[in-house]
Amino acid sequence: MNEWTVVEYRGYKSKSEKTDWCSLIRQKVNNLYTRYFDEEVILKRDYISLLNTPKQLYYQWKNGVEMDSSELTTIIDEAMNNAEKLKVTYQKQKMSLPWKDYKKVIEGFLQKILNNCKLIEDYEDKQKSNLYDFMNEDNFYIGYICKYLENEMKQWQKKYYGVRNHKKYKRCKLCGVLIENTGNKRMYCIACAKANELKNATLRKQKQRQNELSRNRKC
């Protein structure tokens, strides 16, 4: 475990060139950091798809679809604008944790995994099948550890946002924090809901005052 406390996070790389199990797990740890904490890298499908708009249009044009250049500019500008908006939304949904602290969190997860790791024989007993038929032992452990890390990260995220265990979650429309999806029309976290109420009340008062003023002027 000491070995990888010296590892640096060097931005996003989805695949490791190395395929030994240590590199694969390290890659998983990296990817989890990207997904949950790195504000600079957004990997959500809708965002990526918007960024790919010019490329998609290029291929359509190459395949003989007729296009008007001003129309194209409008489509691309709009896509890039929407991508920028989405990026801000998704950036708000990232948690804040320096890489060095993240490594400590992961160390805790790995310790837990090592303590709980089932031996492959136990697993096979339960499943009543022979895993060796279709996967080797290394793959089994790598898969197990990656799944475990992913689950632990999800639990950690709930603690970070202070939400209870719930079936569904959603994001606060304003600040992006995780909130429980209780099925009603709840859109904001408690803090944002309060701030929003205050803002609306102030606006109402301003309007009232303006109405009174204009009424007085008429008199």
State the nearest-atom distance from the C-beta of 200 to Zn ion, in Å.
Answer: 15
Phi, psi at residue 183, to the nearest 5°?
90, -20
CB nearer to Zn ion: give 72 or 187.
Answer: 187
Interface mask (CB under 5 A) for Zn ion, residues 174-193, using x and -? xx-------------x--x-
State the nearest-atom distance from the C-beta of 82 to Zn ion, in Å.
Answer: 22
- Cα–Cα distance measured from residue 25 to residue 138, given in angstroms and rounded to the nearest whole number: 11
Pairing status of strand 169-171 against strand 178-180? antiparallel
CB nearer to Zn ion: give 16 or 157.
Answer: 157
CB nearer to Zn ion: give 52 or 196.
Answer: 196
CB nearer to Zn ion: give 140 or 169.
Answer: 169
| Contact between 94 and 102 (Cβ < 8 Å) | no
> Within 190-209, which residues bind Zn ion (CB under 5 A)?
192
Number of residues that bind Zn ion (CB under 5 A): 5
Structure-block tokens of residue 209: 């005052």
> CA 187 from chain center: how many Å?
18
- Cα–Cα distance measured from residue 157 to residue 179, given in angstroms and rounded to the nearest whole number: 11
CB nearer to Zn ion: give 117 or 174.
Answer: 174
Q: Please name the amino acid found at residue 105.
A: V
Contact window for Zn ion (CB under 5 A) among 49-57, 146-154, 168-176, 202-210: 168-176
| Contact between 31 and 24 (Cβ < 8 Å) | no
CB nearer to Zn ion: give 200 or 211.
Answer: 200
Contact window for Zn ion (CB under 5 A) among 8-16, 53-61, 153-161, 169-177: 169-177
What distances in angstroms separate CA 164 from CA 137, 151, 153, 160, 168, one per listed residue? 36, 15, 15, 11, 10
Contact window for Zn ion (CB under 5 A) among 48-56, 114-122, 152-160, 173-181: 173-181
Q: What is the CA radius of gyration of the chain?
A: 25
> Within 81-140, which residues bind Zn ion (CB under 5 A)?
none
Q: Out of 42, 83, 172, 178, which residue is the one contacting Zn ion (CB under 5 A)?
A: 172
State the nearest-atom distance from the C-beta of 181 to Zn ion, in Å.
Answer: 14
> Within 52-91, which residues bind Zn ion (CB under 5 A)?
none
According to DSSP, the residues that pair with 179 across neighbouring strands are 170
| Contact between 41 and 12 (Cβ < 8 Å) | yes
Site residues, Zn ion (CB under 5 A): 172, 174-175, 189, 192
